[in-house]
Structure 1
Amino acid sequence: MLVSFEGSTLVDWNAYAKARSELGAGFVRILGYFREDGVKSVAQIEGAMRAKSAAQLVIPAHTLKGESRQFGAEPLAALAEQIENIARDCVETRDTPDEALELVVKLRPLFNDTLQLLEREANPLAERRPAAGFGRRPTTFGRAG
């Protein structure tokens, strides 16, 4: 289920295709790293928010931003960038990152929805299964009528 974006806007498919082309055979492996790193980054961001630690928000938000952009996941990258910028400002002003709370709440669902689209596109066979009955032999095949 998509949160507030349609699937066509969660991913810039031109950027995705470019990354797929540039990464070649390593694409699926790198996408797996994005999954692993993204899960960690989202958890670290949530933990930092619970701890009200702006400093602990910066690196995972920055990492998620960059990795998201690599795959054309612009809304996710933009959200991570907003969190990063708020965190950096709060570090400078020695303030708590309360302003980022609403954004952090949106992060996990957006990450999950985006990842689902990226992985589905990386494995088109999962979406292109034969229709029921395709490839079955007719019941009268080879029988004299």
Structure 2
Amino acid sequence: MLVSFEGSTLVDWTVYAKARSELGAGFVRILGYFREDGVKSVAAIEAAMRAQSAAAMVIPAHTLKGEARQFGAEPLAALAEAIETIARDCVETRDTPDDALQHVVTLRSLFEQTLTLLDREANPLAERRPATGGFGRRTPTTFGQR
């Protein structure tokens, strides 16, 4: 099952704006760390699921949860927290993390959707620049035409 969220619900823009304000000039760098860490965490969680290793899920899920919350990505944080909780319970009971499977299947898509929104908001000009024409520009014409 592929879970799709409305863009407005993937990120709490108030939390995002607060993080952006507090981090100041370091915001884009920290967002880059979130991207890098998130890619690694998602891959580690997926690998742990394939290996049926609950213990190997705990730290990457915990890391992803905290970093997602820092940027207001609450649905992603909640999903990572659910995976972390299941994994911790499985470690305690010495069980396999089968109950986490549906969450893990959903994780990559949600991470990518969330990251797209965060990146777009961090660099709005890159996404909103018109392909041709635009304010103060003439629409391209062929040579010799006006």
**TM-score > 0.5 by shorter chain:** yes
1:80-127: per-residue Cα shift (whole Å, max 9, x none)? 000000000000000000000010000000000000000000001113
User: How far off its partner does 1:132 sit?
Assistant: 3.5
C-alpha contact (below 8 Å) 1:48/1:56 kept by paired residues: yes
One-letter identity of the residue aligned with 1:75: P
Q: Distance in 2 between matches of 1:114 and 1:6?
A: 10
Gapped regions of structure 1 (runs ≥ 5): 139-145
Q: Which residue of 1 aligns with 2:60?
A: 60
Q: Distance in 1 between matches of 2:114 and 2:96?
A: 29
User: How far off its partner does 1:136 sit?
Assistant: 2.8
C-alpha contact (below 8 Å) 1:3/1:113 kept by paired residues: no
Q: Which residue of 2 aligns with 1:136?
A: 137
TM-score under structure 1 normalisation?
A: 0.90
SS of equivalent residue, structure 1 residue 96? coil
Identity in percent: 84
Question: How is 1:12-23 mapped onto 2 (pairs within 5 angstroms)?
Answer: 12-23=12-23
CA RMSD of aligned residues (A): 1.7
SS of equivalent residue, structure 1 residue 44? helix
Q: Which residue of 1 aligns with 2:75?
A: 75
Q: Distance in 2 between matches of 1:39 and 1:64?
A: 9
User: How far off its partner does 1:128 sit?
Assistant: 2.9
Q: Aligned pairs, how many? A: 138
Relative to 1, partners in 2 of residues 1:137 and 1:106: Cα closer, same or farther, differing over 3 Å?
closer
Question: How is 1:36-115 mapped onto 2 (pairs within 5 angstroms)?
Answer: 36-115=36-115
TM-score under structure 2 normalisation?
A: 0.90
Q: Distance in 2 between matches of 1:100 and 1:3?
A: 15
SS of equivalent residue, structure 1 residue 72? coil
Q: Distance in 2 between matches of 1:49 and 1:137?
A: 54
Gapped regions of structure 2 (runs ≥ 5): 140-146
Say which one has the larger Rg: 1
Q: Which residue of 2 aligns with 1:24?
A: 24
Deviant stretches of 4+, over 4 Å: none
Q: Distance in 1 between matches of 2:133 and 2:20?
A: 33
